[in-house]
Amino acid sequence: MTALLEVEDLHVEFRTRDGVAHVLNGVTYHVQAGETLAVLGESGSGKSVTAQAVMGILDTPPAFVTGGSVRFRGEELLTATPQRRREVRAEGIAMIFQDALSALNPVFTVGFQIEEQLRLRRGMSRRDARKRAVELLDLVRIPHAAQRVRDYPHQFSGGMRQRAMIAMSLALDPEVLIADEPTTALDVTVQAQIMDLLAELQRERRMALVLITHDLGVVAEVADRIAVMYAGRIVEHSDALSLFRAPGHPYTEALLRSLPHLESKGTKLETIKGLPPSLLRIPPGCPFHPRCPRAEQVCSLEVPPQVPLGSGRTSACHFALEVVGRG
């Protein structure tokens, strides 16, 4: 089965006044129909930039794609015409953002913003588009959709705005949905509602979902596969169950250990010493080596390869086999 969306060896740099920031240094992932891939990483790891490069919505300058490939159904997007990219953005790959309030246009009604794409792309009449917009709002469980369709974004609560944005992204039946921290700004009870909704819509439509998040809990609940990012690289790639049971990269291992859990009560949490590196000066060799408890000399000299760990898992660590064996 071929992947719906493939990202291969993607390189992006930001040319800033302070120098060139190497934001993505060879990111490779793929996602298939009906599958959820979680891209996990802390701030600055490059998880959102990857998504923006896939969508072709990076601000250039300062951002430049300097290498690699992004393919949708086998078709190269990086070299596609702007018109073709716009088509793919409309009908192939849709994206939802963390901050729904700033992603929605405040001067148009929610309904208008959903209808706009239906009228432009599908040539629907105003009346048909309105009918479809109400259906979509109903689908994402906005109460009294027929009335609320005339509301402006500020009249919606945070959870409802996120639902409206999901409705908008589904209007043209995309095959891939990229969700960039869709629940980070929401309260836990609302977060649970939105994650349930996303999972259900995905199941029904057999959509591929790329879920970008920093929350290990959310990842554990919904992901089929996980790509862990650090300093613009994917350091571990694994199915969800194995990653939590026996992490294959020291960074993943350290992240899992730094979470407070039942047995940690009253004790000190394990921490990762130091800070993530500046992308202007990424350390040579493995980017994690200055913070890694098991770093040896080779780590500061050679960039580790993706070591296969069986059943499709990989880890970019010189000692990957030992790390995973310890679990």
Partner 1 sequence: MAEPVAEPVLEVRDLVKHFPVTRGVLFKRTIGRVRAVDGVSFTLGAGETLGVVGESGCGKSTLAQVLMRLEPPTSGEAYFEGRPMFPMRGAELRELRRNMQIVLQDPYTSLNPRMTVGDIVGEPFEIHPEVAPRGSRAGRVRELLDVVGLNPEHINRYPHQFSGGQRQRIGIARALALRPKVIVCDEPVSALDVSIQAQVMNLLGELQSEFGLAYVFIAHDLSVVRHLSDRVAVMYLGKIVEIGTEEQIYEHPTHPYTQALLSAVPVADPALRGQRDVIRLTGDVPSPIDPPSGCRFRTRCWKAQDVCATEEPALVERGLPFDHPSACHFAEERSVVP
For the beta sheet containing 5-16, the strands, ordered from the edge strand earlier in sequence to the opposite edge, are 19-31, 5-16, 63-72, 75-76
**Residue that has been written with the tokens 């394990």 in this structure:** 270
Closest CA to 235 of 321, 306, 299, 310: 306
Which amino acid is located at 82 in the chain?
A: P
| Comparison of 118 and 201: residue with beta carbon closer to partner 1 | 201
Q: Which is nearer to partner 1, 72 or 251 (CB)?
A: 251
Taking the complex as a whole, the smallest distance from the CB of residue 194 to partner 1 amounts, in Å, to: 11
- Which of 46, 159 has the CB closer to partner 1? 159
Tokens read off for 37: 């891939």
Which residue ranges make up the site for partner 1 (CB under 8 A)? 42-43, 143, 157-160, 187-193, 195-196, 214-221, 223, 240-241, 244-245, 254-256, 258-261, 264-265, 268-272, 275-276
In this complex, which beta carbon is closest to partner 1, that of residue 115 or of residue 253? Answer: 253
For strands 176-180 and 208-213, give the pairing: parallel
CA nearest neighbour of 95 among 178, 23, 190, 168: 178
Q: How far is the CB of 143 from partner 1 (least distance, A)?
A: 8
**Cα distance between residue 265 and residue 247, in whole Å:** 23
> Minimum distance between the CB of residue 45 and partner 1, rounded to whole angstroms?
9
User: Which residue lies nearer to partner 1 by CB, 83 or 189?
Assistant: 189
Residue with tokens 């000399």: 297
Q: How far apart are CA 136 and CA 151, in angstroms?
A: 15
| b/e map 248-261, b = 16+ CB within 10 Å | bbbbbbbbeeeeee
CB of 268 to partner 1, least distance (A): 5
Question: Residue 46 Cβ, how far from partner 1 at the closest point, in Å?
Answer: 14
- Residue closer to partner 1, measured from CB, 92 or 182: 182
Which tokens hold the place of 229? Answer: 């990012």
Tokens of 305: 């390869």
> Closer to partner 1 at the Cβ: 65 or 227?
227
Query: What would the two tokens of residue 131 be?
Result: 């009918």
- Please provide the distance, in angstroms rounded to a whole number, between the alpha carbons at the two ends of the chain: 31
Q: Kindly state the smallest distance separating residue 61's Cβ from partner 1, in Å.
A: 23
| Least distance between partner 1 and beta carbon 33 (Å) | 21
Nearer to partner 1, 247 or 304 (CB): 247
Q: How far is the CB of 169 from partner 1 (least distance, A)?
A: 21
**Number of alpha carbons in the 13 Å side-chain half-sphere of residue 248:** 28
User: How far is the CA of 19 from the CAs of 47, 64, 68, 288, in angstroms?
Assistant: 21, 13, 22, 21
